[in-house]
Amino acid sequence: MFSKETYIRRRTELKKLVQSGVIVIFGNNESPCNFPNNGYYPFRQDSSFLYYFGVQRDGLVGVIDIDNNVDTLVGDDIDIEDIVWYGSVDSVKDLAAQVGIEHSAPMKQLKTICHDAIKLKRKIHFLPPYRHDIKLQIFDLLGIHPNQQKDAASMPLINAVVKMRSVKEDQEIEELEKASEIGYLMHTTAMKLIKPGVTEKYIAGQVSGIAGSYGAMVSFPTIFSQHGEIMHGNPSMAVLEEGRLALCDCGAETINNYCSDNTRTMPVSGKFTQRQLEIYTIVEACHDYALELSKPGVKYYDVHMGVCRLMTERLKELGLMKGDTDEALAAGAHAMFLPHGLGHMMGMDVHDMEALDQKYVGYDDEIQPSKQFGTSALRMGRRLEKGFVVTDEPGIYFIPDLIDDWRAKGHCKDFLNFDLIETYKDFGGIRLEDDVLITDNGCRVLGKQIIPYHPKDVEEYMAKHRM
């Protein structure tokens, strides 16, 4: 939790942006894992609730009455039976005081607050809900059916939250740096453990354990797989094999729930083969080129397309692509190898504010998401601003099913050398990812120590530290 003044200032700014009405921001409730009293651990609070109210306890709702300038923390106090099992906790009144709120109320009063506002025809602002229990709560309070709540969510509130959370405060950047430090430990641990005979599951478990040891939790379920061509490949009991590549995509959340998100791709044997190196160096060049291009005022869509252009030119040199580069990009031929976007916003959520809809977070009136396969998966296209944190994560993948599908359809056949691509079906995939802070005139990678990613650095680190 930050200082009390931080949350007072944020709520004051939110009132100015939304202007009138009643803002209701729902915190998360405890979520059962496989039966009601066996909840997921640790508890994860809603990020927007944390941003404005800073309280980690479940079962809370924040109410901001803009017109009367009254903030209220709503929730029921913990009873003695819960205290026996979970220990003593602060009252809702005390929690409210910790974040500069004078008023608190039991949960049953929330219905009265909402009904009074409705009677006076005052606007009630809420964010798009993503949990079913909150959807039912909104239905009970406002009479809006769950399948209509996304459309009924307040655009003034969505726009205000996106505006505020997109630009990171100095104290938020400090938290993101801490998350990056934990991410460094996670990835270098993977580099130490990777060798033939070890299972994917074992390494992923060790990596995820570090996040829990130094922070709150992983920022998303750890991706670790020899099948790097699967974007979100879950770690399996498969044994690492000599000559294969292992892709590790993982990150940590700090105690204050700020995230890191990095990806590295490593040779199981400790040495890249020549064919692996040829593809790896293209991804490496794309990663570094994105850092050159990223600065305030530049559309991240243009950075993405600049990377796609470089990748296409380099793949043409290997004979995997052919034809005119501009025409190939216009046809979307590059998506055979890069079917996702260059990156996304990052902060308290690893895909920052994703629940508010990426078309509002990563796009704006100037630019909207593409409908082209591959580029349509770009979560961030708008102009960069100082204080934004985005990921830089180019990759090249050889996806057998996608190769077969495009070849059978003749899709982009003028730009793809399918005969040669066929020989890469057993290759897997390579992705390199870092978290990037946009600065006054450019950008910098977050983290005091950069996780090794240049080929020689990776090989040297693995050789020196392998367990």
Q: How confident is the model at residue 299 (pLDDT cuts 50, 70, 90)?
A: very high
Look at the alpha carbons of 235, 288, 351, 9 in this order and tell me if their dihedral is positive or negative: positive
Of 221, 225, 220, the closest CA to residue 200 belongs to 225
pLDDT digits (tens, 9 = 90+) for 93-139: 999 999 999 999 999 999 999 999 999 999 999 999 999 999 999 99
Q: What pLDDT is stored for residue 329 in this prediction? A: 98
Q: What pLDDT is stored for residue 467 in this prediction? A: 87
Q: How many angstroms separate the CA atoms of 115 and 93, rounded? A: 23
pLDDT digits (tens, 9 = 90+) for 382-406: 999 999 999 999 999 999 999 999 9
Average pLDDT of 300-318? 98
Given a cut of 80, is residue 85 above it in pLDDT? Answer: no
Look at the alpha carbons of 316, 322, 325, 328 in this order and tell me if their dihedral is positive or negative: negative
Q: How many angstroms separate the CA atoms of 57 and 90, rounded? A: 10
Q: What pLDDT is stored for residue 219 in this prediction? A: 97
Rg of the Cα atoms in the chain = 24
Q: What pLDDT is stored for residue 38 in this prediction? A: 84
pLDDT digits (tens, 9 = 90+) for 11-45: 999 999 999 999 999 999 999 888 887 888 889 99
Asked whether the beta carbons of 128 and 158 are under 8 A apart, the reply is yes
Strand, helix or coil for residue 264: strand
Q: How confident is the model at residue 141 (pLDDT cuts 50, 70, 90)?
A: very high
Terminal C-alpha separation, the chain: 37
For 238, residues 6+ apart whose C-beta sits below 8 A from its C-beta are 199, 200, 225, 226
Q: How confident is the model at residue 372 (pLDDT cuts 50, 70, 90)?
A: very high
Strand partners for 262: 250
For β-strands 223-225 and 245-250, DSSP reports them as antiparallel
Given a cut of 90, is residue 312 above it in pLDDT? Answer: yes
Token pair 């990009």 is at which residue? 329
Q: How many residues does the chain have?
A: 467
Asked whether the beta carbons of 250 and 186 are under 8 A apart, the reply is yes
Would you list the DSSP string of 67-130? TTTEEEEEEPPP-HHHHHHH-----HHHHHHHTT--EEE-THHHHHHHHHHHHTT--EE-PPP-
Average pLDDT of 318-341? 98
Of 186, 190, 187, 124, the closest CA to residue 156 belongs to 124
Of 221, 172, 210, the closest CA to residue 348 belongs to 172
For 105, half-sphere exposure in the C-beta direction (CA atoms, 13 angstrom radius) is 16
Q: How many angstroms separate the CA atoms of 122 and 126, rounded? A: 13
Distance of CA 40 to the CA centre of its chain: 20
For 19, residues 6+ apart whose C-beta sits below 8 A from its C-beta are 66, 156
pLDDT digits (tens, 9 = 90+) for 208-263: 999 999 999 999 999 999 999 999 999 999 999 999 999 999 999 999 999 999 99
Asked whether the beta carbons of 110 and 63 are under 8 A apart, the reply is yes
Given a cut of 80, is residue 309 above it in pLDDT? Answer: yes
Q: What pLDDT is stored for residue 1 in this prediction? A: 86
Whole-model pTM: value is 0.96
Q: Map out the domains of the chain with their CATH numbers.
A: 4-166 (3.40.350.10), 170-465 (3.90.230.10)
Distance of CA 133 to the CA centre of its chain: 23
Letter for the amino acid at 405? D
For 446, residues 6+ apart whose C-beta sits below 8 A from its C-beta are 173, 176, 177, 180, 260, 389, 434, 435, 436, 437
Given a cut of 80, is residue 369 above it in pLDDT? Answer: yes
Residue 357's φ and ψ, nearest 5 degrees, are: 90, 120
- For 167, which DSSP code? S
Q: What pLDDT is stored for residue 134 in this prediction? A: 98
Q: What pLDDT is stored for residue 401 in this prediction? A: 98
Top-confidence residue, 370 or 81: 370
Given a cut of 80, is residue 285 above it in pLDDT? Answer: yes
